[in-house]
Amino acid sequence: MTDSEVITLTNGEFGATLSPLDRGLAYGDGLFETARVRGGRVPLWSFHRQRLIAGARRLGLVLDTDRLERERERLLARLPAVDGSLKLVVTRGVGGKAYQPPK
């Protein structure tokens, strides 16, 4: 892995992309958390996890914490002993009209 290599995991698919209609891209309707990765591990994971959960709750976003853990583990398994960063992005997805979120 090079310093500039990026691995994406979107909705459980490696290399998948977000729709340009996703509310997170169109309106900033979501949140993100960036964490340091050292040796293929996230040293302060419990802190980042709690902050992500709290932010999702404040915004009324559904966050499947079991899936979050599974996907984090899948991603880190591809990066053994790597140093870098992990950026988690949670959006409301596609839907709704203009600034109104989907019902």
pLDDT of residue 3: 54
Is residue 2 scored above 70 in pLDDT? no
- Quick: pLDDT tens for 5-22: 788 888 889 998 889 999
Instruction: Note the CATH number of domain 9-91.
Output: 3.30.470.10
The predicted structure's pLDDT at residue 4: 63
> Are 59 and 31 contacting, i.e. CB atoms less than 8 angstroms apart?
yes
The structural domains of the chain, with segments of one domain joined by +, span 9-91
pLDDT at 43 over 90: yes
Separation CA 93–CA 25 (nearest Å):
9
Q: Which amino acid is at 70?
A: R
Confidence of residue 48 (pLDDT cuts 50, 70, 90): very high
Coil, strand or helix at 22: strand
